Structure 1
Amino acid sequence: MLRFPSNPDSLKGPVTLLDEEGISWVLHRKRLDLRAVRRLVGDAEIPVVWGDMGGISPRPTTAAERPGLWRLVKDAYRGPGGTGATGRYLAHEFRTEAGRRMLYVEDHC
């Protein structure tokens, strides 16, 4: 996956992410509510991409990582339903033209 010039939350206009399989994902919703993040992380059919370095460096996560990701995000989420400005993580939903969904989590370390 190619890096973003800045985190998806701060990009304007259509934001697109091309994955390793050549699938184009378009940013659908920014700053998801923490309850939506929990549902998406828990759904094994939904891919989760971790955005390191403040959200600019995406990498796919593995099924084994998912429970640990939720434990990190739930206690330090800066979006709606989370800890606010003191949080470290922010999540967005991307979709394909065919309607597939993907969760993108920004890590602001």
Structure 2
Amino acid sequence: MTLLDEQGTRWVLHRKRLDLRIVRRLVKDAATPVVWGDMGGISPRLAAEAERPMLWNRIKDEYQGPGGSWSTGRYLAHEFRAEPGQRMLYIEDHC
């Protein structure tokens, strides 16, 4: 799977269903863009730096992937990469 952002950067899916510990690290890494896929990914948007702590508070208790609460979770996260060595965290909200 490949995503193309507004600047023309091609992001290629690197890892699906990240472990919650990796999600936490990437959310806190200011160099990693975080894309919030609200409403099941229908309207993705770049998360502002100031809202990352709030997003983490939402994700950590309702994460559906490894390390999270599988049965009651609603969020999943995937890592995308672009050259040279860029990373992007994509978080899906399955409402």
Per the normalisation by structure 1, the TM-score is: 0.84
- CA drift of 1:72 comes to 0.3
Structure 2: runs of 5+ lacking an equivalent: none
Question: 1-side partners of 2:83 and 2:32: how far apart?
Answer: 15
Equivalent residue, structure 2, for 1:55? 41
Deviation at 1:97, TM superposition (A): 2.7
**Are 1:34 and 2:12 counterparts?**
no
**Structure-2 residue corresponding to 1:106:** 92
1:96 aligns with 2:82: yes
Match for residue 77 of structure 1?
63
Give the paired residue count.
95
Give identity over the alignment, percent. 74
For structure 1, which runs of at least 5 residues remain unmatched after alignment? 1-14
2:51 aligned partner: 65
* Alignment pair present for 1:86 and 2:54: no
> TM-score, normalised on structure 2?
0.96
Structure 1 residue ranges (4+ consecutive) displaced by more than 3 angstroms after TM superposition: none
**Residue 29 of structure 1 aligns to which amino acid in structure 2?**
R
In structure 2, what residue type is equivalent to 1:102?
Answer: M
- TM superposition shift of 1:69: 0.4
Matches of 2:85 and 2:42 in 1, distance apart? 24
Opposite residue 96 of structure 1, the aligned amino acid is A
Instruction: Flag the structure with higher strand content.
Output: 2
